[in-house]
Structure 1
Amino acid sequence: MAFKEIVWSELAKIEFANILDFYLQRNGNANYSLKLLNEVEELMLTLGQNELIGRLTSNKFTRTIPMKYYAVFYEINESRIEIVSFWDNRQNPDKRKVK
Protein backbone atom coordinates (compact mmCIF):
# COMPACT_ATOMS: atom_id res chain seq x y z
CA MET A 1 0.00 0.00 0.00
CA ALA A 2 1.40 3.41 -0.96
CA PHE A 3 2.04 6.12 1.59
CA LYS A 4 -0.88 8.57 1.81
CA GLU A 5 -0.67 12.21 2.75
CA ILE A 6 -1.94 12.91 6.26
CA VAL A 7 -3.64 16.22 6.99
CA TRP A 8 -5.01 17.47 10.30
CA SER A 9 -8.35 19.26 10.57
CA GLU A 10 -8.35 22.59 12.38
CA LEU A 11 -10.24 20.97 15.27
CA ALA A 12 -7.67 18.17 15.61
CA LYS A 13 -4.80 20.69 15.50
CA ILE A 14 -6.41 22.74 18.28
CA GLU A 15 -7.17 19.68 20.41
CA PHE A 16 -3.62 18.35 20.09
CA ALA A 17 -2.04 21.76 20.71
CA ASN A 18 -4.20 22.22 23.82
CA ILE A 19 -3.09 18.86 25.19
CA LEU A 20 0.57 19.62 24.55
CA ASP A 21 0.20 23.07 26.13
CA PHE A 22 -1.66 21.68 29.15
CA TYR A 23 1.21 19.32 29.99
CA LEU A 24 3.81 21.99 29.31
CA GLN A 25 2.12 24.29 31.82
CA ARG A 26 1.29 21.55 34.33
CA ASN A 27 4.74 19.96 34.38
CA GLY A 28 6.76 23.15 33.99
CA ASN A 29 8.82 21.55 31.22
CA ALA A 30 8.34 20.11 27.76
CA ASN A 31 9.43 16.53 28.48
CA TYR A 32 6.02 14.86 28.41
CA SER A 33 4.78 17.03 25.54
CA LEU A 34 7.83 16.10 23.46
CA LYS A 35 7.38 12.42 24.29
CA LEU A 36 3.74 12.57 23.20
CA LEU A 37 4.67 14.48 20.04
CA ASN A 38 7.22 11.78 19.13
CA GLU A 39 4.66 9.02 19.72
CA VAL A 40 2.15 10.78 17.49
CA GLU A 41 4.74 11.30 14.75
CA GLU A 42 5.56 7.57 14.81
CA LEU A 43 1.86 6.72 14.69
CA MET A 44 1.38 9.03 11.68
CA LEU A 45 4.19 7.23 9.81
CA THR A 46 2.53 3.89 10.50
CA LEU A 47 -0.92 5.22 9.59
CA GLY A 48 0.36 6.66 6.31
CA GLN A 49 1.56 3.21 5.32
CA ASN A 50 -1.41 1.24 6.63
CA GLU A 51 -4.57 3.32 6.67
CA LEU A 52 -6.79 0.51 7.98
CA ILE A 53 -5.07 0.05 11.35
CA GLY A 54 -7.82 1.92 13.19
CA ARG A 55 -11.17 0.37 13.99
CA LEU A 56 -14.35 1.72 12.47
CA THR A 57 -16.56 3.86 14.68
CA SER A 58 -20.33 3.63 14.75
CA ASN A 59 -20.71 6.06 11.83
CA LYS A 60 -18.89 3.54 9.55
CA PHE A 61 -16.53 6.05 7.88
CA THR A 62 -14.48 7.40 10.78
CA ARG A 63 -11.77 5.20 12.25
CA THR A 64 -10.07 5.46 15.63
CA ILE A 65 -6.71 4.43 17.02
CA PRO A 66 -6.30 4.28 20.81
CA MET A 67 -3.08 5.68 22.29
CA LYS A 68 -3.00 4.97 26.04
CA TYR A 69 -5.01 8.00 27.27
CA TYR A 70 -5.85 9.39 23.83
CA ALA A 71 -7.82 8.47 20.73
CA VAL A 72 -6.97 9.58 17.22
CA PHE A 73 -10.01 9.80 14.94
CA TYR A 74 -9.43 9.86 11.19
CA GLU A 75 -11.15 9.48 7.84
CA ILE A 76 -9.80 8.09 4.60
CA ASN A 77 -10.41 9.28 1.07
CA GLU A 78 -8.73 8.29 -2.19
CA SER A 79 -5.73 10.57 -1.90
CA ARG A 80 -5.24 11.33 1.79
CA ILE A 81 -6.00 10.62 5.42
CA GLU A 82 -7.57 13.36 7.53
CA ILE A 83 -7.09 13.43 11.29
CA VAL A 84 -10.46 14.79 12.43
CA SER A 85 -9.95 14.70 16.20
CA PHE A 86 -7.25 14.06 18.81
CA TRP A 87 -9.19 13.27 21.96
CA ASP A 88 -8.08 12.87 25.59
CA ASN A 89 -10.17 9.93 26.79
CA ARG A 90 -10.18 11.26 30.35
CA GLN A 91 -12.50 14.10 29.31
CA ASN A 92 -16.28 14.02 29.35
CA PRO A 93 -17.26 12.33 26.04
CA ASP A 94 -20.19 14.73 25.67
CA LYS A 95 -17.62 17.51 25.07
CA ARG A 96 -16.24 15.81 21.96
CA LYS A 97 -17.19 17.66 18.80
CA VAL A 98 -17.89 15.49 15.81
CA LYS A 99 -18.38 16.68 12.30
Structure 2
Amino acid sequence: MKIIWSEDALLDYHQNIDYLLRDWSESVALQFVEEVEGVIELIQINPELYPLTDYRDIRKALIQKQITLFYKIADDNVFLIRFWNNYQDPSRLKL
Protein backbone atom coordinates (compact mmCIF):
# COMPACT_ATOMS: atom_id res chain seq x y z
CA MET A 1 0.00 0.00 0.00
CA LYS A 2 1.19 3.46 -0.89
CA ILE A 3 0.67 6.16 1.74
CA ILE A 4 -0.44 9.55 0.43
CA TRP A 5 -0.55 12.53 2.78
CA SER A 6 -3.16 15.23 2.21
CA GLU A 7 -2.16 18.86 2.74
CA ASP A 8 -4.39 18.95 5.84
CA ALA A 9 -2.75 15.82 7.27
CA LEU A 10 0.74 17.26 6.74
CA LEU A 11 -0.27 20.57 8.29
CA ASP A 12 -1.94 18.88 11.28
CA TYR A 13 1.06 16.57 11.77
CA HIS A 14 3.59 19.42 11.78
CA GLN A 15 1.40 21.61 13.99
CA ASN A 16 1.17 18.80 16.54
CA ILE A 17 4.95 18.36 16.52
CA ASP A 18 5.49 22.12 16.87
CA TYR A 19 3.06 22.24 19.79
CA LEU A 20 4.76 19.32 21.54
CA LEU A 21 8.21 20.84 21.06
CA ARG A 22 7.05 24.24 22.30
CA ASP A 23 4.88 23.19 25.27
CA TRP A 24 6.20 19.77 26.24
CA SER A 25 9.59 18.42 25.21
CA GLU A 26 11.62 16.98 22.39
CA SER A 27 11.19 13.47 23.80
CA VAL A 28 7.38 13.82 23.84
CA ALA A 29 7.45 15.09 20.24
CA LEU A 30 9.69 12.19 19.23
CA GLN A 31 7.31 9.75 20.91
CA PHE A 32 4.44 11.21 18.87
CA VAL A 33 6.44 10.83 15.64
CA GLU A 34 7.25 7.21 16.50
CA GLU A 35 3.61 6.44 17.33
CA VAL A 36 2.48 7.94 14.01
CA GLU A 37 5.10 5.91 12.12
CA GLY A 38 3.98 2.75 13.95
CA VAL A 39 0.32 3.28 13.11
CA ILE A 40 1.15 4.01 9.47
CA GLU A 41 3.19 0.78 9.28
CA LEU A 42 0.22 -1.16 10.68
CA ILE A 43 -2.10 0.49 8.15
CA GLN A 44 0.25 -0.48 5.32
CA ILE A 45 0.17 -4.11 6.48
CA ASN A 46 -3.57 -4.22 7.18
CA PRO A 47 -5.43 -1.13 5.94
CA GLU A 48 -8.75 -2.33 7.37
CA LEU A 49 -7.32 -2.78 10.87
CA TYR A 50 -8.96 0.35 12.25
CA PRO A 51 -12.73 0.94 12.41
CA LEU A 52 -14.85 2.81 9.93
CA THR A 53 -16.33 6.13 10.97
CA ASP A 54 -19.72 7.65 10.24
CA TYR A 55 -18.05 9.37 7.29
CA ARG A 56 -18.26 7.35 4.09
CA ASP A 57 -15.30 4.94 3.69
CA ILE A 58 -13.17 6.83 6.22
CA ARG A 59 -11.40 4.98 9.02
CA LYS A 60 -9.91 6.27 12.25
CA ALA A 61 -6.79 5.22 14.12
CA LEU A 62 -6.13 6.48 17.63
CA ILE A 63 -2.54 7.76 17.75
CA GLN A 64 -2.70 8.99 21.34
CA LYS A 65 -5.71 9.74 23.49
CA GLN A 66 -5.48 13.31 22.20
CA ILE A 67 -4.98 12.60 18.47
CA THR A 68 -6.90 10.51 15.93
CA LEU A 69 -5.73 9.86 12.38
CA PHE A 70 -8.48 9.75 9.76
CA TYR A 71 -7.68 7.92 6.53
CA LYS A 72 -9.28 6.41 3.46
CA ILE A 73 -8.39 3.33 1.40
CA ALA A 74 -8.66 3.56 -2.39
CA ASP A 75 -7.27 0.81 -4.59
CA ASP A 76 -3.64 0.30 -3.51
CA ASN A 77 -3.43 3.68 -1.79
CA VAL A 78 -4.07 4.91 1.72
CA PHE A 79 -4.91 8.59 1.90
CA LEU A 80 -4.09 10.23 5.24
CA ILE A 81 -6.76 12.88 5.66
CA ARG A 82 -6.41 14.54 9.08
CA PHE A 83 -4.70 14.24 12.44
CA TRP A 84 -7.53 15.45 14.66
CA ASN A 85 -7.15 16.76 18.20
CA ASN A 86 -9.85 14.88 20.11
CA TYR A 87 -10.35 17.79 22.51
CA GLN A 88 -11.67 20.02 19.72
CA ASP A 89 -15.36 20.48 19.04
CA PRO A 90 -16.30 17.46 16.87
CA SER A 91 -18.76 19.56 14.88
CA ARG A 92 -15.73 21.40 13.44
CA LEU A 93 -14.29 18.22 11.91
CA LYS A 94 -14.60 18.35 8.14
CA LEU A 95 -13.47 15.31 6.22
Q: How does 1:49-60 map to 2 (within 5 A)?
A: 49-60=45-56
Pairing of 1:5-84 with structure 2 (within 5 A): 5-27=2-24, 29-67=25-63, 68-84=65-81
What RMSD in Å do the two structures reach over aligned CA positions?
Answer: 1.2
Letter in 1 for 2:34: N
| 1:86 alignment partner, one of 63, 66, 83 | 83
Q: Which runs of 5+ in 1 are unaligned?
A: none
Query: In the alignment, which residue of structure 2 is the partner of 1:97?
Result: 94
TM value normalised by structure 2: 0.90
| 2:82 counterpart SS class | strand
Unaligned runs of 5+ in 2: none
Query: How far off is 1:35 after superposition?
Result: 0.5
Aligned residues: 94
Q: How far apart are the structure 2 equivalents of 1:21 and 1:58?
A: 30
In structure 1, give the amino acid aligned to 2:90: P
Q: Secondary structure at the match of 2:34?
A: helix
Partner secondary structure for residue 41 of structure 1: helix
Q: Using the aligned pairs only, state the percent identity.
A: 27
TM-score (structure 1 length as normaliser): 0.87
